[in-house]
């Protein structure tokens, strides 16, 4: 029996550090030019593999439901997951498609630019790729963004509901663009909803984060919204929680959301409090953004505790109030 299965993308990520001029939030690279880059760093990525490794390091028995190609990149994904002791038997190997790939441009003083090739991950769930008998052997599923058809997501959620499997859900833009009317039946099957503030704004049409939380919590028992420099917010229908950020030197923000999500959800899976979940999620996200790569600095539970002991101040403590 697994504690949790991560569902979503499995990719190879290339972090490309490039200098360039940023004008009005656009990176300017002359067409036809040859641009030297400062460095390049490769790692596996995608919401499914990032969170799976995070859950495993935090002590959960973890599996992955994703699709990869029958190519060298797919073999790298499998090798790294197995090295981390993540169960890979739910991963579909698709000989007709290449493994998904992301080129992440960073190092120019802004956020980052991600170029994405969907590859095999877009075909997750086609034909008989999902081994439902094996998937039934888990207590939780964490579903992150993936590019498969909405009917595949619906089928997975219906299966989870039938089997009594709890769900944490971090929808991507492909799911959010469906709109609240189409997402509402899906959200009714979710136990924890995780979004950033801009995503929550699209769904709720509200600018205020507390109003966003209230509207979403009408459909999901526990809602979490991250807000960059303003930290993370949560609402369970009775209490509102806010966890401020720590001051750290940022190398790259790729994978921060996945790191926060697996830190937060792992604590809830273990039966711990929302405050504890916010603390571990925040510590995990900050550890990741201080380095390149979405996985290499994911924390253990002990590592998260040490991080918090070093960084926690009166200004960063979690606030809890009735709402």
How many structural domains comprise the chain?
A: 1
pLDDT, tens digit, 9 for 90 and up, residues 167-183? 999 998 888 988 899 89
- Report the C-alpha gap between 9 and 97 in whole angstroms: 14
**According to the model, what pLDDT value does residue 32 have?**
80
- Residue 108 sits at φ, ψ, to 5 deg, of -110, 20
**According to the model, what pLDDT value does residue 140 have?**
98
**According to the model, what pLDDT value does residue 85 have?**
97
* Domain assignment present for 30: no
* Domain assignment present for 85: yes
**Would you say residue 148 has pLDDT above 70?**
no
**According to the model, what pLDDT value does residue 114 have?**
87
Cβ within 8 Å of residue 225, ≥6 positions away:
195, 196, 197, 200, 209, 212, 213, 232, 233, 234
* Domain assignment present for 125: yes
Q: What are the strands, taking DSSP E only, across the chain? A: 2-7, 11-17, 21-23, 26-28, 39-45, 62-65, 67-69, 92-94, 100-106, 113-117, 138-143, 166-169, 192-196, 222-226, 232-235, 239-243, 319-322
* Domain assignment present for 28: no
For the domain that residue 245 is a member of, what is the CATH number?
A: 3.40.1190.20
**According to the model, what pLDDT value does residue 54 have?**
97
* Domain assignment present for 183: yes
* Domain assignment present for 138: yes
Print the domain residue range for 124.
2-20+38-322
Could you tell me if 294 and 261 are in contact, meaning their C-beta atoms sit under 8 angstroms apart? no
pLDDT, tens digit, 9 for 90 and up, residues 249-304? 887 777 899 999 999 999 999 999 999 999 999 999 999 988 877 687 899 999 99
**According to the model, what pLDDT value does residue 317 have?**
92
- 108-117, 162-171, 252-261: range with lowest mean pLDDT: 108-117
Q: How far is CA 307 from each of CA 84, 225, 230, 267, 290, rounded to the nearest angstrom?
A: 21, 22, 19, 16, 12
- Report the C-alpha gap between 253 and 251 in whole angstroms: 7
- Greater confidence, 109 or 263? 263
Could you tell me if 254 and 13 are in contact, meaning their C-beta atoms sit under 8 angstroms apart? yes
Beta-bridge partners for 222:
192
Beta-bridge partners for 208:
none
**According to the model, what pLDDT value does residue 175 have?**
87
**According to the model, what pLDDT value does residue 110 have?**
57
Could you tell me if 141 and 156 are in contact, meaning their C-beta atoms sit under 8 angstroms apart? yes
* Domain assignment present for 237: yes
pLDDT, tens digit, 9 for 90 and up, residues 3-43? 999 999 999 999 888 877 777 778 777 788 788 888 888 88
* Domain assignment present for 62: yes
- Report the C-alpha gap between 111 and 131 in whole angstroms: 38
**According to the model, what pLDDT value does residue 255 have?**
81
- 125-129, 188-192, 204-208: range with lowest mean pLDDT: 125-129
């Amino acid at each position: 029996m697994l504690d949790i299965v991560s569902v979503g993308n499995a990719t190879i990520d290339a972090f490309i550090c490039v200098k360039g001029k940023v004008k009005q939030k656009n990176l300017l690279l002359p067409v036809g030019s040859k641009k030297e880059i400062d460095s390049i760093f490769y790692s596996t990525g995608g919401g499914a593999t990032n969170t799976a490794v995070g859950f495993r390091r935090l002590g959960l028995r973890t599996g992955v439901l994703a699709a990869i190609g029958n190519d060298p990149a797919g073999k790298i994904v499998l090798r790294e997951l197995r090295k981390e002791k993540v169960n890979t038997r739910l991963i579909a190997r698709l000989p007709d498609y290449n493994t998904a790939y992301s080129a992440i441009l960073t190092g120019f003083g802004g956020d980052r630019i991600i170029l994405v090739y969907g590859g095999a991950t877009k075909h997750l769930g086609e034909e008989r790729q999902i081994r439902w008998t094996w998937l039934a052997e888990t207590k939780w599923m964490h579903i992150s963004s993936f590019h498969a058809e909405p009917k595949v997501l619906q089928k997975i959620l219906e299966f989870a509901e039938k089997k009594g499997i709890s769900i944490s859900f971090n929808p991507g833009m492909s799911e959010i663009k469906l709109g609240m009317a189409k997402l509402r039946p899906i959200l009714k099957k979710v136990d924890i909803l995780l979004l950033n503030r801009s995503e929550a704004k699209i769904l709720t049409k509200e600018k205020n984060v507390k109003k966003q939380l209230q509207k979403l919590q009408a459909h999901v028992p526990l809602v979490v919204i991250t807000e960059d420099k303003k930290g993370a917010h949560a609402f369970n229908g009775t209490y509102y929680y806010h966890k401020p950020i720590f001051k750290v030197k940022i190398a790259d923000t790729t994978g921060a959301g996945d790191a926060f999500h697996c830190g937060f959800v792992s604590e809830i899976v273990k039966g711990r409090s929302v405050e504890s979940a916010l603390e571990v999620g925040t510590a995990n996200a900050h550890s990741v953004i201080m380095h390149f790569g979405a996985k290499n600095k994911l924390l253990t539970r002990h590592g998260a505790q040490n991080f918090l002991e070093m960084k926690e101040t009166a200004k960063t403590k979690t606030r809890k109030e009735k709402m």
